[in-house]
A = this chain, B = another copy of it.
Amino acid sequence: MVKIAVLGFGVVGSGTVEAFDRNSAIIAQNAGHDIQVKYILDIRDFPDSPYNNLLTGDFEKIVSDPDVAVVVETIGGVGPAFDYTKRCLSAGKSVVTSNKELVAAHGYELLEMASANGVNYLFEASVGGGIPIIRPIAQCIAANQINEIYGIVNGTTNYILTEMVKNGAEFSDALADAQRKGYAEADPSADIDGHDACRKICILASLAFGKHIYPEYASHEGIRGISSNDVHFAGELGYKIKLVARARVLGDIPAVYVAPHLISHDNLLAGVDGVMNAVVVRGNIVGDLMFYGAGAGKMPTASAVAADVIDAVKHMKLRKLIGWEEGGEDSVADHMLLESAWYIRTDASREKISHEFGEVIFSGSIGSECAFKTTFMSGRKVQELLERGISALSLFRVLGDH
């Protein structure tokens, strides 16, 4: 019998407790041990919860209990979660987390600390909710040099964009709808401005490329600037607009950024709609793999947390070789050097556009606006051409190498 503690009884924490309850037999079989939740840490009281008897507000009781082998941290954020994680690792307990903010900000330090204490710090649930992505990158394609990772890793923005495409809605209306349905928070900024997606791609890039990529050195752009005209023009040109998080090797280091992209209808990723997520990983021998599933939500995320707990229990005496080196500003390449085709919405004349950009593909017009797709060029080059007197109302990459 292995005892665990769950820190934070919010959506993911309560889902995790429920998963260990509901699937206890299969979990025991796969872990080789019965696993039991001994404590749930939360300062709130949940009198109606069947797990109320496990609740405690006293972290010291958990960290000092030698019975507790694995601690699940689902508090979120960098405050107490960071402190508690360090204390648990120092006390020789493995820690499993769904906290992308903490892993993105302090993953290197926490992985080092886990290593020094002979325990594991596992974070499958921090990216892609229930989709297996950390373990596949670390293990399943461990024989590959990874050249690129990109995907749809934020369900809120994908829901909003899917609604904009389906109904021709404006961003503000689609956001209000997402908020009504509980897919977007009252303060939606972390999702719609790309912070959340940026943390996730930084975690994947750290793992794939071997150096910690801090979010402050990556670039992120959200979806507030996407208009219904963009959706319409993109459709005319054969594309859907999606918020893509991407890390791509440029020389020796990756460019890492989040931005809206046009995705061709014949790319599988264009079919990833609503709150679903998908990540494509490109290895130098395996080619492209795609991992698809529910990128958030109580039980899917709990599934990933529980898988990590099982792994921690199975590896109680063996450290997982998972981690990366310290990184800094110079571990990230400038994404404006990456080449691609570009989509530009503008009210400049077609004559002027053709004069500056040469061969382009035009959409139709709505009022004074039209859009066009450029040939393959770097972001720097696009900006240089735009500075010759074309005002870009939107400027998005077209996904794909050619």
| B140 and A31 contacting across the interface, CB-CB below 8 Å | no
Question: Taking the nearest CB of chain B, how far is it from the CB of A287, in angstroms?
Answer: 5
Question: Taking the nearest CB of chain B, how far is it from the CB of A275, in angstroms?
Answer: 11
| B144 and A311 contacting across the interface, CB-CB below 8 Å | no
Binds B, one of A20-28, A97-105, A236-244, A249-257: A20-28
Question: Taking the nearest CB of chain B, how far is it from the CB of A313, in angstroms?
Answer: 10
| A289 and B291 contacting across the interface, CB-CB below 8 Å | yes
| B286 and A293 contacting across the interface, CB-CB below 8 Å | yes
A8 surroundings in chain B (CB, below 8 A): none
CA distance A95 to B70 in the complex (A): 32
| A288 and B293 contacting across the interface, CB-CB below 8 Å | yes
Q: Which of B132, B268, B283, B310 contacts A289 (CB 8 A)?
A: B132
Question: Taking the nearest CB of chain B, how far is it from the CB of A130, in angstroms?
Answer: 4
| A307 and B143 contacting across the interface, CB-CB below 8 Å | yes
CA distance A30 to B306 in the complex (A): 24
| A132 and B143 contacting across the interface, CB-CB below 8 Å | no
Binds B, one of A39-47, A297-305, A364-372, A394-402: A297-305
CA distance A289 to B307 in the complex (A): 15
| B311 and A139 contacting across the interface, CB-CB below 8 Å | yes
CA distance A32 to B132 in the complex (A): 23
Residue A176 lies at the interface, judged by CB distance under 8 Å to chain B? no
Residue A348 lies at the interface, judged by CB distance under 8 Å to chain B? no
A300 surroundings in chain B (CB, below 8 A): 285-287
| A143 and B27 contacting across the interface, CB-CB below 8 Å | yes
| A130 and B286 contacting across the interface, CB-CB below 8 Å | yes
| A140 and B145 contacting across the interface, CB-CB below 8 Å | no
A321 nearest in chain B by CB position: B32
| A287 and B291 contacting across the interface, CB-CB below 8 Å | no
| A285 and B19 contacting across the interface, CB-CB below 8 Å | yes
Residue A135 lies at the interface, judged by CB distance under 8 Å to chain B? yes
A15 surroundings in chain B (CB, below 8 A): 285
CA distance A151 to B24 in the complex (A): 28
A314 nearest in chain B by CB position: B321
CA distance A294 to B285 in the complex (A): 11
Binding site for B on A (CB under 8 A): 15, 19-20, 22-23, 26-27, 30-32, 124, 130-132, 135-136, 138-145, 266, 268, 271-272, 278, 283-294, 299-300, 302-304, 306-307, 309-311, 314, 318, 321
7 nearest A-B pairs in the assembled complex, by CB-CB distance: A143-B306, A132-B140, A286-B303, A130-B286, A30-B142, A290-B292, A289-B293
Other 17 A-B pairs with CB < 8 A, given A22-B284, A289-B291:
A15-B285, A19-B143, A27-B142, A130-B285, A130-B286, A130-B289, A132-B140, A135-B140, A136-B140, A143-B309, A143-B310, A268-B272, A268-B292, A271-B271, A285-B300, A286-B294, A289-B292
Q: What are 5 inter-chain pairs, A to B, with CB distance below 8 A?
A: A130-B141, A130-B283, A132-B136, A139-B307, A143-B309
